[in-house]
Structure 1
Amino acid sequence: MTDTIKDKSNALETARRVLDLEAEGIQLLSKELDGNFIEALTILNNVTGRVIISGMGKSGHIAKKIAATLASTGTPAYCVHPGEASHGDLGMITRNDAVLAMSNSGNTSELSDLITYTRRFGIPLIAMTSKKNSSLAEAADVALILPSLPEACPHGLAPTTSTTMSLALGDALAIALMEQKNFQPNDFKVFHPGGALGNQLLKVSDIMHGERLPLCTSETSMTETILIMTNRAFGCIGVTNTQGQLTGIITDGDLRRHMDADLLSMTAEKVMTAAPKTTRPNALAAEALGQMNERSITSLFVTEDDLPVGIIHIHDCLRAGIA
């Protein structure tokens, strides 16, 4: 491949300058957050319908990402193109919704019909703009004002610093709403069932074995215990008391440690390791895998109130794509 970068050192300096300017924008945005953010958060938290986000050009692209983040973290949202809104898509917005309109200048003409529609029907309007005295900021119920900083573009034209700040502010709203709604990993899994992220959110109960568990009582002879252990093929067997509670575990290692002439004359209680480590059905499978890796074991019993309800093997985690 032909090397077409004439001045690599200068290119790196340019990249660092861009990143430093955009980082400065986010830092300044963080420092300048005020009560308007809380007002906007309150509006979005109280919405009974959906959050409609709109913007033109680069702001429109950021609007799509913010809508996707909100929707995946417990706040129903979608993006409406301002041009399409003027040609019928305003009908997608109801009085139960709230609108977040984005424009760096605050005077984007394509947003005018959307702004008018929200004012006519009393739909809450949040502005995200760099201009406090713009038409968008003045029309809105609350305005989130971005710090006035130069774009990273050397000509000051291509939206760069401003779009980075808009994206970060959208993330801040989404995560703050997520916490207000007490949105938990199990809720997250509902909206992210596919791919690696969905795999990491699998619960132990999703992949555990709940039938034909390798179990015996404390009084079971080791002859029978070994037969059950071999038949179930988990490399271990759980030992229960008269109440059915898990009190111990026998592994292949325990058998080797007791391998002598008296082994088969013993009971399970004499060979078991007491108080075995267990996991919960609603624990993340990734957490169970971490326990197994930490303790260099291959299986964990799953218990509820000390009663064994399942068993999970490290191979179950690997087959599910959890690593």
Structure 2
Amino acid sequence: MHLKAFRCPFKLLILSLLLSAAATSVCAQSGMLRGFARDADNGEPLMGVNVTLTNVDGRLLGASSDFEGLYVISRIPAGRYFLRAAFIGYETRLDTLDIAEAEIRSYSFSLAFETRELDEVVVEAEREGAGAAAVIAGLQTVRPQDIDLIPSPDVSGDLVNYLVTLPGIVSVGDQGGQFFVRGGEPTQNLVLLDGMLVYQPFHLIGFYSSFPSNIINVTDVYAGGYGAKYGGRLSSVIDVASRSGNKRRFEGEVSVAPFVSAVRIEGPIVPNMVSLMYSGRLSVIEQGIEKLIDTPLPYAF
């Protein structure tokens, strides 16, 4: 009886080992394709590029690039594949790749802008994913294109000019620029730039901030319902992610206005890999608008 009781678990153990070895063998034969999708003009990462692989049997594999332009397609059986990388507003990239067994293949590419002249297009559809389940409570995502639509007293757009158009957000006060969200105090707002805490980012009665639109990649504004990683504040969170500098060539911008003058310089350190971007703003109220209206304006930042 004791011998029979021992044989049964032993057989199960052998079967489990065989199944594990078979699964490992199958995984080992699969390949992987990964790389980065970038803008051919300035080297900026492209988020949302659809990368697909199709073999001669019509099997389809694919992935989309993330915030940094990275895409990863795993568990690719060995063979020849037709690659297609597509993104709205850019030329589609086509290529043929041979993936070997257990190969980890790196394939990065750049997409160029595509210009087409179209006739009138009318699109009608029912909105999918609508309703409370598809909404993140209290979150508003802001992009530079949104900021540039709002009139600004400066030459370039400014994040604060867009924020004050959102419901529940008011910017009033002295030259420090007090920012109130849903009745909270200014000290209860958390402002981050690439994860770094920024103090007093708003200036001149809410007309200007430390965030011109030409350095912003995306901004998440939480008026409530934010996670534990944003702890320490009670009112709101403004999480700004700056964009990378131009990885292809050096370029710059200088603007002079009665209130604020600004300069921006960017370019590659290691071409196509590492870049830098410098942006600075300086108030020129005492040298500019104060002279024009002949009235003292003690506002400087």
**Larger Rg: 1 or 2?**
1
Greater percentage in helix: 1
**TM class, shorter-chain normalised?**
under 0.3
Greater percentage in strand: 2
